[in-house]
Amino acid sequence: MVKEMIQWRPIIIGTAIAVILYFVSYFIAGVNLMFPLLMLGGLLVGYMVGGDTKNGAFNGTLMGLVTGVINVILLIAMIMIQGASTTLLVALAVTLIIYLIMQIILAAAGGVFGSLVRAESELERSSPEESE
């Protein structure tokens, strides 16, 4: 049943959008927009997946997990490139885990919002237009 709920194409598209826009915003503008981009990616995943809010939340959670792991790995790489010791990484481990959990929650919330937007837009399309 879980395998039927997972839709990898929207998850990969949402992850790619979040990661690419994160790098563009961080390295060009110097602004970390990962949290809003995760909401945007989750919204897109939830919209593309369709179905009920449970399906949107599940696929949004997977997108947040994949994107969060990629982001944490990149943050660790950036910290190591700057010359930080492994002692600093151990000290930052709890912060990185909390960061990962927040990313998963935001993407899941975005997935719920995306599925709600799709359900609302389908509801408006299916209802007959009232002409006066």
Query: How does 25-42 read in b/e, with b if 16+ C-beta sit within 10 Å?
Result: beeeeeeeebeebbbbbb
Residue 24 is predicted with a pLDDT of: 87
Annotated domain spans of the chain: 2-122
Cβ distance 115 to 47 under 8 Å?
A: yes
For the cut 70, the answer to whether the pLDDT of residue 130 exceeds it is: no
Mean pLDDT of 20-49: 88
Average pLDDT, the chain: 86
Residue 1 is predicted with a pLDDT of: 64
Residue 131 is predicted with a pLDDT of: 47
Kind plus residue range of the DSSP H or E element containing 79: helix 53-81
What predicted TM-score, i.e. pTM, was given to this entire model? Answer: 0.83
Radius of gyration of the chain (CA): 18
Residue 16 is predicted with a pLDDT of: 94
What is the tens place of the pLDDT at every residue in 88-129? 778 888 888 998 999 999 999 999 999 999 988 887 777 666
Cβ distance 22 to 34 under 8 Å?
A: yes
